[in-house]
Amino acid sequence: MKLTRRSPLVILFAFSLLVAACGEAGEQELPDAPTTTGGAATTEAEETATTAEEAMEDLPEEIVIGIPASLTGQYEALGKQGLDGLNMFADWVNNEKGGIDVGGTMLPVRIVFGDDRSDKDTALRLFEKLVNEDGAHFMFASYSSGLTLSQAPLAEQLDVVTMAWGASSDDIWQQGFTRVVGVYTPASQYDHTLLEYVANADPAAETVAIVYKDDPFTVSEAEGAKAKAEELGLEVVFFDKYPVEATDLSPILSQAWGFDPDVVLVSAHFQDGALAAQQMTELGITPMAASFGSGAATTGWWDQLAESAQATFGPAQWEPSQAVDPAAFDADNWVGPQLTPEEFTQQFADEFGYEPDYRGGLVFHAGLALMQAIENAGSLDTETVIEAFKSLDIQSFGGGFALDPATLNQIGHAMVTIQWQDGEKVIVAPEEYANADPIYPANE
């Protein structure tokens, strides 16, 4: 082909259209056959037993657990952490425990996964593929409340027990699903610990302003905080939301501060939480306590905000520095390796080269709960395992695990409240997990 001076333009235009076309999620191809890790090196899919009786008579050679992992896209780092934690669980089951005991037969675990690209359509197709084509007996949902919620109906249709290891939006457990198992403390309870601390420690604290992002997770968190504040006798003087696309929160923060609240709760993810913290510093908004959602418990919070992060609070599902009484290792309901969260974190870091946060810790914890439910059921049958889950009450280095039998939402896991103090993240509440006194009031 003869190149003319317009050739670069034509090429760029064609390339532009190609890139734009590739950006269409609906046209994406699913990744190749899923990668497998852990367990026996079997390539043939196992058929899922449909009844407890069949399962007893015809057990597979291994238990296949599937996970659509967000290895690219917006949840890339968190999805990888989930997959790493689940692989670590499989290694522990296979190499240290010797498998999962199903009615007296020890079965190894094999993980099958693919990249869901943090995209709903891909995550749905991958979920179905992992169950139908790759023979997953049990599933771990994709990371995030949004993706988990989209997969919940599929879990029902495919009749597969699905561990919601990366989701806490209350919505998921308010729709009557019977196969989705909660692992995290629900979003509606995220701020309870801090509010209880303030109400108990400071009779002078009377008012709360709640500013929240308009998405299902943060709406659940904010509504739960409002209900708890009112239950504790605190007056909610401001309760309003900002759009997901907001790039400037100063108007809503200014308006909230106009009500002179003692406590400001910003129900947010990391990015908008950090923006709120930064703009509160800029605007001189200095309540006695300010909390910024789960993002504030992320390791990068101080790196991002530096001094603006000083004395900020945040709720956390689990912290590596969380104390565990060694006596708990001998408790009847202790499950899994006898490690403190700190020891687990070290092992994880040694294996994968980075320190996990609660995602890495609690995906292993979710694996332990599934393992125990299967062992209690003595079967791989979905209904039998779900029934076993309903009466499960265990603890591990990841904390407690017990479900509301009616909804399968988590009720046994406790949150902690962290605070940043001179660059260090410390646990300040509840008292049994605390490793430092809070800076309170934070504005003095």
Q: Which of 1, 2, 3, 20 binds other proteins (CB under 8 A)?
A: 20
Under rule CB under 8 A, residue 423 binds other proteins: no
Residue with tokens 């390796």: 337
Residues in 299-328 that interact with other proteins by CB under 8 A: 304-306, 308
Tokens of 248: 């400037």
Under rule CB under 8 A, residue 278 binds other proteins: yes
Residue whose CB is less far from other proteins, 254 or 443: 254
| Omega cis (within 30) before 315 | no
Q: Which residues of 138-166 are buried (b: 16+ CB within 10 A; e: fewer)?
A: bbbbbbbbbbbbbbbebbbebebbbbbbb
Residues in 173-232 that interact with other proteins by CB under 8 A: 214
CA distance 262 to 279: 18
Nearest Cα neighbor of 63 from 202, 160, 187, 151 is 160
Q: How far is the CB of 87 from other proteins (least distance, A)?
A: 23
Residue whose CB is less far from other proteins, 230 or 240: 240
Q: How far is the CB of 273 from other proteins (least distance, A)?
A: 10
Given the rule CB under 8 A, which of 101-109, 268-276, 362-370, 373-381 is the region that contacts other proteins?
268-276
Given the rule CB under 8 A, which of 13-21, 182-190, 193-201, 389-397 is the region that contacts other proteins?
13-21
Strands 162-164 and 138-140, by their bridges, are: parallel
Under rule CB under 8 A, residue 47 binds other proteins: no
Under rule CB under 8 A, residue 13 binds other proteins: yes
Question: 290 with 266: CB under 8 angstroms?
Answer: yes
Residue with tokens 């939402």: 409
Nearest Cα neighbor of 433 from 328, 301, 284, 288 is 328
Nearest Cα neighbor of 417 from 189, 260, 206 is 189
Q: Which of 2, 3, 23, 176 binds other proteins (CB under 8 A)?
A: 23
Residues in 77-136 that interact with other proteins by CB under 8 A: 77
Q: How far is the CB of 255 from other proteins (least distance, A)?
A: 5
Under rule CB under 8 A, residue 422 binds other proteins: no
Question: 127 burial class (0-12, 13-18, 19+ CB within 10 angstroms)?
Answer: buried
Under rule CB under 8 A, residue 237 binds other proteins: no
Q: 56 pairs with which residues across the strands?
A: none
Question: 346 burial class (0-12, 13-18, 19+ CB within 10 angstroms)?
Answer: middle
What does the binding site for other proteins look like in residue numbers (CB under 8 A)?
5-6, 8-9, 12-13, 15-17, 19-20, 23, 73-74, 76-77, 214, 240-243, 245-248, 250-252, 254-255, 257-258, 270-271, 274-275, 278-279, 281-284, 304-306, 308
